Structure 1
Amino acid sequence: MCGRFDQNDIARRYIAAFGWADAAYNSQAQPTYNAAPGTYRPVIHMQDGQPAVDDLHWGYRAAWAAEKLPVCVNARLEKITNNYWRKLLKTGRAVVPANGWYEWTGEKGKRQPWHIHRKDREPLFMLALANFGPFKEHKAESGFVLVTADAEGGMVDIHDRRPVVLNAADAATWLDPDISTEQAEMLARQMALPADAFEWYKVSPEVNYAGRDGAHLIEPLPEPEPHDE
């Protein structure tokens, strides 16, 4: 899964890395090292056939499901063609740019966060499903979820799920409204960056607290000093 991510650059620089020079910017969100569910974050998508960047609520629940289902922040790749997600797969494909994401190890109360990022430190383009437009009852009616897949045995045994990350060209194809839902799902399966494209290290437990921010959150913790036998 992905419960926090590091989106510490401005939207325009992410878009430059994405290769879009003519996107419509509707984003006012500030960079953050600790993006949490329930906040509004810049999302890349196609709007009326044109590239656009909008701030969208991280978390989605269909309006009809208000009394039946919880708000989701992730959608499993294996299920994005089911009845609940299929409409968004057809009309709401999106990309969330970031520098990394966080996962945790350890017992409850002693959770150790890890920062996961590309080895080459290029931006991540994480696949998302989104519902754009105004909401009626709850802001999660107009929100996004990150698409996650099996972590191929676990990334340093941190977690068994991870966001689906594509390179910029494949992520742009994901957004193409002319490809079918079947093609989009196959693209996500076949072109996701493999586990060996990433690296990770432990970071401050301060990440555990939503609202905490700052560059110090992504600094690696020092390795413990070796003890003599």
Structure 2
Amino acid sequence: MCGRLDQSHSASEYLAAMQWPQSNPFAASQAAPSDNASPGTYRPLMRIVDDQLVIDDWFWGYRASWAVGKVPIAINARIEKIANRYWSPLVRTGRAIIPADGWYEWTGEKGNKQPWHIHLKSRAPLFLAAIAATGPCRENACETGFVIVTADAEGGMVDVHDRRPVVLSAADARLWLDPVLSADAAERLVRSVALGPDEFEWHAVSRELGRSASEGPHRAAQLDLPL
């Protein structure tokens, strides 16, 4: 599961971290940095447009126009299912990257849940594999939204959740975006090169984070829990 992101840096800073080797990437994102970015909002997303790397704002959440009343709006897509008929068109034409500084998961019982900030040990930006619908929007924003690709957390990575976003190195993120790469090859790529659990660390954060409107750098700061 990945239902809340820390995107504390600017779009331009994320582009620089990508180390794009070709023509100058273009930052068109108007979204403000957020340490508490939630689904149902427009967030910075990297994609290739006419051979140029672009970062602009897309709706976090997707449901095909024909699926209204049949399936709920999704915010994630399981890597085990991205080859099926529902997701494969997006893998072919809508591969994207969501840059972030971390993501959040919750532990504990309902009404007493503790949020955790998960990030690279290096604290370098994360490049999360995503797929997006880039066609025209007919009625609902989610028709042209994105979802984050998730994988099994290998026995409960960080002892927080059984799913995790697929995080790529900058080099592998560039490969994922390459339109020359076939959908089958792209699927094999994300299955084989996702950064493993040993690359990450985590800390508890304020429970105020549970309110999606809650903002401020202190929300992602480490919280020392009582023993």
* Normalised TM-score (structure 2): 0.97
**1:52-87 Cα deviation digits (max 9, x unpaired):** 111000000011101211100000000000000000
Give identity over the alignment, percent: 56
Q: State the match for 1:67 in structure 2.
A: 69
1:135-169 C-alpha deviation (Å, 9 max, x unpaired): 11100001000000000011232000000000000
SS in 1 for 2:2: coil
Q: For residues 160 and 34 of structure 2, what CA distance do their matches in structure 1 show?
A: 23
| Pairing 1:208–2:205 present | no
Instruction: Give the TM-score taking structure 1 as reference length.
Output: 0.96
Note if 1:165 corresponds to 2:167: yes
Look up the match of 1:190.
192
Distance in 1, matches of 2:134 and 2:85, equals 18
Q: 2: CA distance between counterparts of 1:25 and 1:78?
A: 32
| Pairing 1:1-229 to 2, within 5 Å after superposition | 1-20=1-20, 22-224=24-226
Q: Distance in 2 between matches of 1:134 and 1:10?
A: 27
Distance of 1:50 and 1:145 partners within structure 2: 22
Separation in 2 of the partners of 1:216 and 1:12? 23
Secondary structure, aligned partner of 2:157:
coil
- Following superposition, the deviation at residue 133 of structure 1 comes to 4.1
**Residue segments in structure 2 that go unaligned for 5+ positions in a row:** none
Q: What's the C-alpha RMSD, in Å, of the aligned pairs?
A: 1.0
* Contact 2:203/2:222 (8 A) holds in 1: yes
3-state SS, counterpart of residue 110 of structure 1: coil
Give the gaps of 5 or more residues in structure 1: none
